Amino acid sequence: MVSSGLAALGYQYINLDDAWAERQRDSAGNLVANATTFPAGIKGLADYVHAKGLKLGIYSDAGNLTCSKLQPGSLGYEEQDAKTFASWVSIIEIDFLKYDNCHTDGTSPQVRYPIMSKALLKTGRPIFFSLCEWGVEDPATWGPGVGNSWRTTGDIADNWERMTKRADKNDKWASYAGPGGWNDPDMLEVGNGGMTNEEYRSHFSIWALAKAPLILGCDIRSMDLDTHQILSNSEVIAVNQDKLGVQGKKVKKDGDLEVWAGPLSQKRVAVVLWNRGSSPAKVAANFSDIGVPPFALVDVRDLWAVREEIKLFLLFFMN
């Protein structure tokens, strides 16, 4: 993360997912890191990560077991586990908890997730709370005030069909996202080899426009130059991180040809012209599609070509 330059671009969390812990809690009922994988414990790992200027993310589940069935879940242990997670943070920074939804007792996520949310708040440590119930009970409608992001979809996979379906499902909830609470269509597959570079650019562009959490799902230790160039495009990242915090959305569709757009700060608009078909085509966006008034003089910049494209002056003639 540091040597590749990704940390300098704003990627800041190192997140552990499922199966980091021992299969059983200790005698005091605490979660314990797998001793073979983490000989210095999570505290030692947190110290190392924070010394690099990064933040540590951890994983648990709102059920009795995690999805892998290889470690205990937090059901009934929410407050205890929240204190454990906070105690592992040696420097007071915003850290991260992904909270899954496997092997539950059948009660609604709307009941179980706020319990952990309140437990995290009691620790006094700012911890980013990522709700992962896969959009089952429309978490965009109740996630604000409970967590900082919520999965709006099932799991992504490294193929064009699965990725585009995640984008479409996430788009439905665009109006619910905003600063402090974000729709999450799952991690990025960029660099995993199942799509072309052009498809990965589409993937990254839509996730950036949608203000989705940019969670890297590839092995960044062995990523190739094309993958690095996509993930390190600072101008596309800036669209994702824009302080206005408005999720861009699909504004026009003509078969496989789509226009996605959203407002940015400083009276700017981000636009994705997306050809989802298998043949070359021209995609057109009218000013009215993207929220730009008529008679506007605009600068257009291609963030992938990284150059000023053209200046346009558009006149609308009314009958």
Give catalytic status of residue 299 as yes or no: no
Distance CA 14, CA 151 (A): 19
Distance CA 257, CA 254 (A): 5
Q: Which of the following is catalytic: 105, 155, 219, 254? A: 155
3-state secondary structure 232-255: CCHHHHHHHCCCCCCCCEEEEEEC
- Other CB atoms within a 10 A radius of the CB of residue 124 amount to 8
3-state secondary structure 80-131: HHHHHHHHCCCCCCCEEEEEECCCCCCCCHHHHHHHHHHHHHHCCCCEEEEE
* 122: its two tokens: 């009691």
Give catalytic status of residue 100 as yes or no: yes
Strands 249-254 and 182-184, bridge-based pairing: unpaired
Q: Which of the following is catalytic: 61, 81, 100, 158? A: 100
Distance CA 185, CA 204 (A): 12
* 294: its two tokens: 């008529």
Q: Would you name the residues annotated as active-site residues?
A: 100, 155
